[in-house]
Amino acid sequence: MNCLSSIIEGVNMYFFNNGEDAFDYLIDHVILKAKKNIKIQMFIWRDDQIGKEIANALIKAANQGVKVYINKDLLGAIFEIAEENRKSLFHKYIPWYLKIKGFLMDKFYPMEGKPKHWHLGNMAYIMKFKEHKNIFFQGNRILKNHSKYLIVDDEIFVVSGMNFEQKEYTYDLLNRKYYDFMFIIKSKKLVSDFLEKKDNITFDLLQPSKKINIFRNITTSFNVKKGLLNCILQGKKEIDVIMAYWDFNEIVDLLIKQCKQGIKLNIYLPKCANIQNDLNFKVLNKIYRSTNGEVNIFLCSEMIHGKLILIDKNYLIFGSANFNSAGLDAMLETNIGLFSKEYALNNSIVQTINKIKESSSLVEQLGDIKYNPFKALIESLLS
């Protein structure tokens, strides 16, 4: 198993850098070990092998008396019907305007091997969830909630960038591995802070502690951007950014400013993202030009879907929020931050970064960052 576990003052933490280990552990050691309740927020839940395996594990837990509460965002159905096997596990009906968006996304991002037609709702699982007395499923609302988290027995907090879909577990249709991350943390205090909306976005990176900070976008406050700006502004030597999707915003401007002031900036992103690749490259083009090529940009041949920032090899930020307009200004998101050295995570994080780097090529000139201006404009309007 490719994970790191640490126990510090009663906090039992697991970090996973791949979907296979993450989902295997989640099913066997979290869902099936639950005693009282499981609460889930999920954006994409596809009708494929891992999607059904997680559903089966939840049914098994519910059969043992565990109360299972699920919020599945209807907005995620756009991606379920537009990508990969084009099958949605739980949405048997979606509004016409979401169908149009799914259709346009399918056409805008063609992929070899993708089925021609989509399929809505696996009735066998829909009925199992609907009829089970211990499963409470809500999936008919557009929540604009891009978060992926679980709370188990009011003491285990699972936060991830991973959706419930097979490409996170093995490979996508292009046979690419997905780099994504999951934290599983046993801490009643963290769960309590999360449920009570006790976010913290003004901490000092020069004063390490064992506190796990929460900064997220919720309906009453959008704190992800504020938290990120606070952390990046405090960087002194080096900033590593692993990020799937980008757009022009204050985060990008601050990264450029920090790089121009001598801070080493390392950016890792997919060479060919599943969506908004041209917008990604347009932003990279700006960063490269604005820093006179001082930035280190690594284009990964595999798919990077994770969102992870490491400040001065000391403070780690992780969650569901991308560096695009949706992640920072529109969608509900969940991020956490912690001092990685306090949890003996540095070696594991650095190994993960180096593993991504091995699958990447370094941008050596502006000509390496080519994009279609028209597609980039459309993606900017839709991101």
Q: Quick one: 266 and 131 in the same domain?
A: no
Q: Given this model, what pLDDT does residue 200 score? A: 87
pLDDT digits (tens, 9 = 90+) for 193-238: 999 999 888 889 999 999 999 999 999 999 999 999 999 999 999 9
Q: Residues 20-67: pLDDT tens digits?
A: 999 999 999 999 999 999 999 999 999 999 999 999 999 999 999 999
* Domain match, 184 and 202 both: no
Determine the Cα–Cα distance for residues 23 and 164; give it in Å rounded to an integer: 9
pLDDT tier, 4 (very low <50, low <70, confident <90, very high otherwise): low
Helix (H) or strand (E) holding 183: strand 182-186
Residue 1 in this model has a pLDDT that exceeds 60: no
**End-to-end CA separation in angstroms for the chain:** 35
Q: What digits encode the pLDDT tens for the residues 247-273?
A: 999 999 999 999 999 999 999 999 999
Residue 74 has pLDDT above 60, yes or no: yes
Give the pLDDT confidence score for residue 8 in this predicted structure: 67
The reply to whether 340 falls in a domain is yes
Q: Which of 266, 321, 344 is nearest to 6 (CA)?
A: 344
Across the chain, mean pLDDT equals 95
Q: From CA 204, how far away is CA 319, in angstroms rounded?
A: 20
Is 382 a residue whose pLDDT tops 90?
no
193 in a structural domain: no
CA distance 118 to 123: 15
CA atoms within 13 A on the CB side of 284: 31
Nearest-angstrom CA–CA distance, 290 and 284: 10
Express each pLDDT in 321-357 by its tens digit.
Answer: 999 999 999 999 999 999 999 999 999 999 999 999 9
> Residue 109 — very low, low, confident or very high, per pLDDT cuts 50/70/90?
very high
| Torsion, CA 88, CA 90, CA 96, CA 100, rounded to 10 | -20
110-150: per-residue pLDDT in tens?
999 999 999 999 999 999 999 999 999 999 999 999 999 99
The answer as to whether 105 is a domain residue is: yes
243: CATH: 3.30.870.10
Alpha carbons 355 and 352: distance in angstroms, whole number: 5
Do both 180 and 220 map to the same domain? Answer: no
Q: Give the tens place of pLDDT for each residue, 356-375.
A: 999 999 999 999 999 999 99
Domain identity same for 35 and 67: yes
Look up tokens 């999360």; give the residue.
Answer: 194
Same domain? 20 vs 124? yes
Mean pLDDT value across residues 158-177: 97
Residue-wise pLDDT for 272-300, tens only, equals 999 999 999 999 999 999 999 999 999 99
Total domains in the chain come to 2
**What is the predicted pLDDT for the residue at 289?**
97
Label the pairing between strands 308-311 and 315-319.
antiparallel
| Per-residue model confidence (pLDDT) at position 201 | 87
Query: What pLDDT, on the 0 to 100 scale, is given for residue 2?
Result: 61
Q: If we measure between CA atoms, which residue out of 10, 141, 31 comes closest to residue 77?
A: 141
- Residue 285 belongs to what domain range? 198-382
- The last residue of a domain, from among 144, 166, 188: 188
DSSP 241-267: EE-S-B-SSHHHHHHHHHHHTT-EEEE
Q: What is the pLDDT of residue 6?
A: 67
